[in-house]
Amino acid sequence: MSSQGSSKRYNVAVVGATGNVGREILNILEERNFPVNEIFLLASSRSAGTTMNFAGRELVVRDLAEFDFSGVQIGLFSPGAKVSSQYAPKAAAAGCVVVDNTSFFRMDPEVPLVVPEVNPQAIAQYTNKGIIANPNCSTIQMVVALKPLHDAATIRRVVVSTYQAVSGAGKEAMDELFEQTRAVYATTLRVPPKKFPKEIAFNLIPQIDVFLENGYTKEEMKMVNETKKILDPAIRLTATTVRVPVFNGHSE
């Protein structure tokens, strides 16, 4: 590690490095010239041993299950909620500050749920468990827009509809949109849905994740609960989340 101040550099672990989000994390670290000393790419044993490029270097992906976090200062996690639930506390116990992109820790009262433009002061609570949670993608872009309005006038109620790209459901979902679209244009055969309840090509599906007992989907309730935690528990919010046949870019 180098000296104090702006020249300080960090050992960073990217967990779930081979997934869509992991790859994007690496792109952003490189694009922003983040002060990385050493970077460790971690994934499941299936991906261990493969190589990825970062900042002009070829790096070998390591097995998360065998990795020692004791020499890492920052862990950027996006391996899925089940994996984060197991390995984020282990990393934090080893002294690594975890920023978790999955849903697992978001509603934990001891874990700060942070959008830097909205509630940066909440980051200080990371000392509780060594973990900072990252909200749902649609919640993030909404609360950034709502924050100045709430400061100016105090929002009482929000009605929001989201139109979310298939990238939010992962690489297999993006492949499904591609294959279905190609089939519509190029063949008489249709590609049956696997990732979605209906064909997504040239279609809108007003369901993201499973339906809950209250009639809302899990995705819709994430927006309700996370907004209350980040912005104001008194805000009343209703959400309708729709999957649209677009590769990247959510709107609402």
| Selection from 235, 239, 234 nearest residue 250 by Cα | 239
Instruction: Let me know: does 50 contact 86? Beta carbons within 8 Å.
Output: no
Parse the chain into domains and list their residue ranges: 5-134, 138-243
- Contact present, 112 and 197 (Cβ < 8 Å): no
The tokens of 159 are what? 């009605």
Determine phi and psi for 158, rounding to 5 degrees. -130, 130
CATH architecture of the domain with range 5-134: 3-Layer(aba) Sandwich (3.40)
Nearest residue to 158 via CA among 251, 235, 241 = 235
Is the pTM here over 0.85, yes or no? yes
pLDDT tens for each residue of the chain, 252 residues long: 444 456 899 999 999 999 989 999 999 999 999 999 999 999 999 999 999 999 999 999 999 999 999 999 999 999 999 999 999 999 999 999 999 999 999 999 999 999 999 999 999 999 999 999 999 999 999 999 999 999 999 999 999 999 999 999 988 999 999 999 999 999 878 999 999 999 999 999 999 999 999 999 999 999 999 999 999 999 999 999 999 999 999 999
Query: Are the C-beta atoms of 88 and 98 separated by less than 8 Å?
Result: yes
Q: With beta carbons less than 8 A apart as the criterion, state whether 48 and 62 touch.
A: yes
Give the type of residue at 37: N
Q: Which of the residues are catalytic?
A: 137, 250
Residue with tokens 């979605």: 196
Q: Which CATH class is domain 138-243?
A: alpha beta
